[in-house]
Structure 1
Amino acid sequence: MRPLPSRAVVFDFFGTLTDPAAEQERRPAFAATAGVLGIDPDVFYTAMAGSFPQRIVGAYGDTAATLLAVAKACGASPTPATLEAAVRTHHAGAERVRRPREGALDTVGTLRRLGYRTGLLSDCSSELCEAWATTPYAPLIDVPVFSWRERRRKPDPALYATVAARLGVPANECWYVGDGGSREHDGARRAGMRPVLVTNVAYPGVAAFRTDPDGFIPPHKVDELSELPALLSYSGD
C-alpha cells in the first residue's frame, strides 16, 4: 500500500541539526566551567558525563542547580557569585557545542516552505531549554519537545506521541530524522513515524559521541540534511 502523505518532519537535535564536529568541543567547554568552579577538569568531566542520564530528565533542576549539585559531588562548595559565573561560562560553552550544521537551517526553512510542520525531539539537559528562544533554530521549529522538560528520554513512546499531538499531525504522517543515538529510530518506528538516518559519513569519529546507539537501521538514509527534501518528495509525498 502507498504510505500516507507526510505532513510533518520531526528532527533530533545534537548531531542532526547541529554540526556533528561541534561535539568535540564539549569537553573543553566543561573544562572552562570546571575552571570557574575550581574543580579539576577531568574530575568535573567524569561527573558530568556520569550524570547525563539524570540531567536530561531534569533530576537536578536548572543549570544553576545542576552545576551546584555536580560541584558538591566533586568536593567543591562554590559561592553564589562563583556559581553565577559558572552558569554564564557553561551557557557560553553550550552555545559553541550547538552551532548549526552547515545548511541545516536552510533545509528546515525549505521544508517549511513546502508545507511541512516541523518538530524537534531532543534528549537534552537544561542549557538548551533555557537558551532555546534565543537560538537560530527556534523560529524554524513549530514544536520543540525536550527530554529535560518532559522528564522522559528517547525512545520513550510518550515523547513521540507528545510531539505528534502538539504538531496536530498523526504519527503515521510524520517523518523522524536523526543520527541514530538513543535508539531514536526504533522508537520512531514503533510510534508509527517514518525514520530517516542521517549517516554523518563526512564526520569520522562522531559516532563515538552517540549514547545508546540504535540497533534498528532505517531503510531511508541521507548523508546530509540538504538531501532531505528530495528524499521526502521521492518517497511519495
Structure 2
Amino acid sequence: MIKAVLFDLYETLITEWNGNQKKAVYSTDELGLNPKVFKIEWDNRRELRMNGIFPDHQSVLIDILNSHGKYSDPDVIEKVHQKRIWAKTVPFQQINSEVIELLARLKEKGIKIGLISNCAPEEVFSWSTSKLADYFDEVVFSYEVKVAKPSPEIYQTACNKLGVTPEESIFLGDGGSNELVGAAEAGLKAYHATWFLPEDYSNNIQGFPKLCSPLDLLNQVELAHH
C-alpha cells in the first residue's frame, strides 16, 4: 500500500535546462578569479554546501576568495549572490503542467507528498513562493538537516516527517547524487524520472523503472496499491 510519494526537486519537478542550454546563466567575473578556477573551487565545496557546513552562498564565495589570498568585498559578494538567486529562481517560474497535474491527482487520492532535495539555501530561495509548495506536506532540504542523498538517513527523515514507513513510499528522481540507489537501500520503491533528461544521460542509469512523463507515476501508484 503506497501512502507517500517523495520527489527530488531539480530535473524532476523543475528544470534548469532548455535543450542543452541553461535557462539562466550568470558570471562571477567580479570576484576576480579565472572562471575555470572558480568552478573547480565551487565543485570542490559541493558536499559542504549541500550538508549545511557552509551556512549560505556568501560564505562559500568568501572561502573561495580567501583560499586564493583575495579580498572579499561585501558589495561584490552581494552582487554575485543576487545573480545566483536570480538564476535559481528562473526554473521555478516555468513549471511543467503535467507536474502540477500529477501533484494534484496524488492529493486527490489522499497520498502524502514530500520533497527531498540536496541543496544550499540560495538554490531553494524561491521554493516557498512557487506553485509547487502548496502541494507538499513535508519538505526536507539537505542543508537544513545536515545530511544529503544518497545517505539513508535523509530518506528516513522524510518518511518520519510524513508519518509513513519507507516500504509505504515511492521516491522519484532524475538519478543525480546516486539518489535512486540511496532510496532503494533505505527501503523505498525508486523510479527514474527521465522527462527532463537527454537520452544519453538517462541511459547511464540502469536498474530502476524509467518514467517518461510525470503522469506515468500514477499507474505505478495504482499498481503498488493492489
**TM-score band (shorter)?**
0.7 to 0.9
CA distance in 2, matches of 1:201, 1:133: 22
Q: 1:175 aligns with which of 157, 170, 176?
A: 170
Please state whether the residue corresponding to 1:235 is helix, strand or coil.
Answer: helix
Q: Displacement, 1:90?
A: 1.2
CA distance in 2, matches of 1:207, 1:170: 28
Please state whether the residue corresponding to 1:133 is helix, strand or coil.
Answer: coil
Q: Displacement, 1:89?
A: 0.9
Greater helix content? 1
Q: Does 2:222 match 1:227?
A: no
Contact 2:89/2:125, CA 8 A, preserved across alignment: no
CA distance in 2, matches of 1:76, 1:140: 44
Residue 15 of structure 2 is matched in structure 1 by 19
CA distance in 1, matches of 2:141, 2:86: 20
Residue 236 of structure 1 is matched in structure 2 by 225
Q: Displacement, 1:229?
A: 1.3
Structure 2: gaps (5+ residues) = none
Aligned residues: 224
Q: Which moved more, 1:181-190 or 1:194-203?
A: 194-203
Please state whether the residue corresponding to 1:197 is helix, strand or coil.
Answer: strand
The 5 A counterparts of 1:38-49 are 38-49=32-43
Contact 1:16/1:101, CA 8 A, preserved across alignment: no
Map Cα deviations across residues 21-63 of structure 1 (whole Å, 9 max, x no partner). Answer: 358428x63x42x134333322222221222122111122112
Q: Does 2:103 match 1:113?
A: no
CA distance in 2, matches of 1:90, 1:201: 22
Q: Displacement, 1:131?
A: 3.5
Q: 1:165 aligns with which of 160, 183, 186?
A: 160
Please state whether the residue corresponding to 1:196 is helix, strand or coil.
Answer: strand
Q: TM-score, with normalisation over the residues of structure 1?
A: 0.82
RMSD: 2.6
Map Cα deviations across residues 122-169 of structure 1 (whole Å, 9 max, x no partner). Answer: 111221344332233221221111111111111211111100010111
Please state whether the residue corresponding to 1:225 is helix, strand or coil.
Answer: coil
Q: Which moved more, 1:85-94 or 1:72-81?
A: 72-81
CA distance in 1, matches of 2:110, 2:116: 20
Q: Report % sequence identity.
A: 25
Q: Displacement, 1:120?
A: 0.7
Q: TM-score, with normalisation over the residues of structure 2?
A: 0.86
